[in-house]
Amino acid sequence: MRWNKFFISICLLTMACQVMAKDSVEVASEPENRYNKYVQKAFDRWDMLIPRQFIVQNAGNMGALSAGIGWEYGHRGMWETHLLFGFIPRHESSRMKMTVTLKENFIPWSIDLKEGWSVQPLSASIYLNTVIGHEFWKSQPKRYPDDYYEFMSTKFRLNVGFGQQITWQIPYKKRRYARSISLFYEVSSCDLYIRSKIIDHSVPLKDIIGLSIGLKLQTL
């Protein structure tokens, strides 16, 4: 009888200790959980800055050849942001020039084909391009009379473009550094060319638009 009472006392004491330990763990875990959520959100924000794409593109009013990085986001990745660096060959000028382009793409539809292929029948782009060099200026230099030039800047050009692309999803077992490859083309023009066409309707359409092609690797 004495051993039964002793055993019951031990069981009650153990249960009480377990309840107290559980309460203390729950109290301690609440701030820990808040911190873990904060850390996860911080990592998610930094993760968004990791480039998802690598792009190579020729022409397009951004140089003979441009290359850079990109990000995709939105529903089904229909929005893209590209940062491209290109060059303009020397030709008849004194030196080669570098270009920088910030580009935003909108790809609303994607049609799946067979064996991992898909086509994106429409892509719309708007991008800002600049040429690095003292020959180009943001505002008219004082050496020219007021309103000597009808446009404000030769350093920055605003462009618009429309095109299409075809994409191949690389089979999972064959993936190394990319999960898909896209080949695209684009027809584009800049604000200065469009303005010239509006002012003078005799300007041929072929003189204000340009054709470019490019390759895009979806790395992540």
pLDDT digits (tens, 9 = 90+) for 21-42: 454 444 445 666 888 888 888 8
**69-73, 150-154, 158-162, 213-217: least confidently modelled range:** 150-154
| Spatial CA neighbour of 155 closest among 179, 178, 177, 139 | 139
Position 93 pLDDT exceeds 70: no
Measured CA angle at 79 (ends 76, 80), to 5 deg: 120
How far apart (Å, rounded) are the C-alpha atoms in residues 188 and 186? 6
Contact between 79 and 72 under an 8 Å Cβ cutoff? The reply is yes
How far apart (Å, rounded) are the C-alpha atoms in residues 59 and 159? 12
Give start and end residues of each alpha helix (H) in the chain.
2-47, 191-199
State pLDDT tens for residues 170-215. 998 888 888 999 999 999 999 888 888 888 888 888 889 999 999 9
DSSP symbols for 91-109:
TTSSS-EEEEEEEEEE---
Q: How high does pLDDT run on average in the chain? A: 81
Instruction: Locate 90 and state its tokens.
Output: 């020397």
pLDDT: is 133 or 97 the higher one? 97
Position 50 pLDDT exceeds 70: yes
- CB burial of residue 71 (10 Å; 0-12, 13-18, 19+): middle
Band of pLDDT at residue 166, cut at 50, 70 and 90: very high
Contact between 119 and 51 under an 8 Å Cβ cutoff? The reply is no
What pLDDT sits at residue 199?
Answer: 85
What radius of gyration, in Å, describes the C-alpha atoms of the chain?
30
Band of pLDDT at residue 6, cut at 50, 70 and 90: very low
How far apart (Å, rounded) are the C-alpha atoms in residues 55 and 65? 11
- Whether the full predicted model's pTM is greater than 0.85, yes or no, is no
How far apart (Å, rounded) are the C-alpha atoms in residues 199 and 205? 13
Cα dihedral 191/195/198/202 (nearest 10): -110
What pLDDT sits at residue 99?
Answer: 92
pLDDT: is 55 or 134 the higher one? 55
